[in-house]
């Protein structure tokens, strides 16, 4: 597996477009993470003034809340790693290197698991990055640091990695079906931001929550903030095993379809 990952690393590391995407991702994430707090605190400040009770001034990024809040916000950017994966997968088709690798001696299974290791590594890197952001913001915004409090709820970072992995697997599927990078990215964006929301809206009841990308997004639900408490809304503050199973099932299905395609088709 490490050998396969190394092969993917050589291809990815030297591909410039990927670096630009990664930099944009870091930049966008940084701006949002550091920007949102000021924004929300401002609103709370404004709202608090007209309220009979005073809201406790509590940062979004204090330990341990930071883990939930930050992984939720980072969830909006999981389309970046998915696009990176799409580019790397479709490259193999446009350069025909998917064929060459088999000619050189890679088995169909290795071909598939090389890409799985790539998606895994991407998720790990993204998770690590968000984790680092979390630590920085946490230490900056927590007055007394207690170890147990710091690591409480840090499982959200792990779940964030799963979220990126699942979303990346969806990208992998589209890339394998469509084979051309621009087209595949278009399909992903179209599905994620237009088609699925419309279908979810048309579906009765909670069925929309079972759509692929929405159920992946449901892994980390919108966190409670002081702002929401103003309106008396309470959200789920934990990872439910039901959400976990649905997302895992989708991940499995996406990759299973790709695996069958990898096994069956002429290259």
Partner 1 sequence: MEILKINKLTKHYGKLTAVDKLELSIDKGSIYGILGPNGSGKTTTLGMILNVIRPSSGSFTWFADSDLNVNRQKIGAIIETPIFYPYLSGQKNLEIFCKIKKIGYADIDRVLNIVELYERRKDAFKTYSLGMKQRLAIAGALLGEPEVLILDEPTNGLDPQGIAEIRNLIINIAKNGITIILASHLLDEVQKVCSHVMILKKGKKLIAGRVDDILREPDIFEVKVEETEKLRELILNNSDLNLIQEHQGLFVFSYKEHSNGKDLNQFLIENGLVASHLQKQEKSLESYFLNIIEHA
When the beta carbons of 52 and 105 are compared against partner 1, the nearer one is 105
Instruction: Give whole-number Cα distances, 52 to 26, 47, 49, 143, 266, in Å.
Output: 40, 10, 8, 27, 70
Closest distance of CB 4 from partner 1, Å? 8
Between residues 66 and 111, which has the closer beta carbon with respect to partner 1?
111
C-beta of 5: minimal distance to partner 1 in Å? 10
Q: How far is the CB of 250 from partner 1 (least distance, A)?
A: 28
Q: Which residue has the tokens 């939720």?
A: 72
Minimum separation from the CB atom of position 89 to partner 1 (A): 14
Q: Which residues contact 4 (CB under 8 A, 6 or more apart)?
A: 110, 113, 114, 117
To the nearest whole angstrom, how small is the minimum distance from the Cβ of residue 105 to partner 1?
4
Helices (H), ranges, the chain = 2-13, 16-49, 65-74, 79-94, 97-104, 108-141, 147-151, 155-178, 181-190, 196-202, 212-217, 226-230, 241-264
**Chain residues in the site for partner 1 (CB under 8 A):** 3, 6-7, 10-11, 14-16, 91, 95-97, 99-108, 264-267
**Residue 6 Cβ, how far from partner 1 at the closest point, in Å?**
6
Nearer to partner 1 (CB atom), residue 92 or residue 243: 92
Nearer to partner 1, 57 or 99 (CB): 99
When the beta carbons of 11 and 214 are compared against partner 1, the nearer one is 11
d(CA 122, CA 88): 11
CA torsion sign for 116, 117, 121, 124 is positive
- Of 206 and 266, which has the nearer Cβ to partner 1? 266
Task: Tell me, rounded to whole angstroms, the distance of Cα 13 from its chain centroid.
Answer: 21
């Amino acid at each position: 597996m490490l050998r396969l990952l190394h092969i993917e690393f050589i291809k990815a590391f030297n591909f410039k477009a990927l670096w630009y995407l990664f930099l944009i991702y870091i930049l966008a994430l940084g701006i949002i993470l550091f920007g949102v707090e000021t924004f929300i605190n401002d609103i709370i400040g404004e709202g608090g003034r007209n309220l009979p009770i005073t809201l406790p001034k509590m940062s979004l990024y204090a330990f341990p809340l930071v883990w939930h809040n930050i992984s939720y916000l980072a969830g909006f950017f999981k389309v970046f790693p998915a696009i990176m994966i799409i580019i790397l997968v479709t490259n193999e088709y446009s350069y025909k290197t998917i064929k060459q690798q088999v000619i050189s001696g890679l088995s169909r299974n290795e071909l598939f698991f090389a890409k799985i290791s790539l998606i895994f590594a991407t998720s790990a890197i993204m998770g690590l990055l968000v984790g680092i952001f979390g630590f920085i913001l946490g230490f900056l915004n927590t007055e007394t640091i207690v170890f147990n409090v710091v690591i409480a709820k840090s499982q959200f970072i792990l779940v964030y990695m799963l979220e990126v992995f699942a979303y990346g697997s969806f990208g992998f599927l589209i890339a394998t079906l469509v084979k051309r990078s621009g087209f595949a990215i278009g399909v992903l964006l179209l599905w994620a931001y237009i088609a699925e929301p419309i279908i979810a809206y048309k579906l009765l009841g909670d069925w929309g929550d079972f759509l692929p990308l929405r159920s992946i997004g449901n892994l980390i639900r919108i966190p409670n903030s002081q702002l929401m408490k103003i309106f008396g809304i309470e959200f789920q503050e934990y990872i439910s095993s039901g959400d976990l199973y649905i997302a895992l099932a989708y991940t499995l299905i996406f990759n299973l379809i790709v695996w069958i395609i990898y096994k069956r088709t002429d290259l």
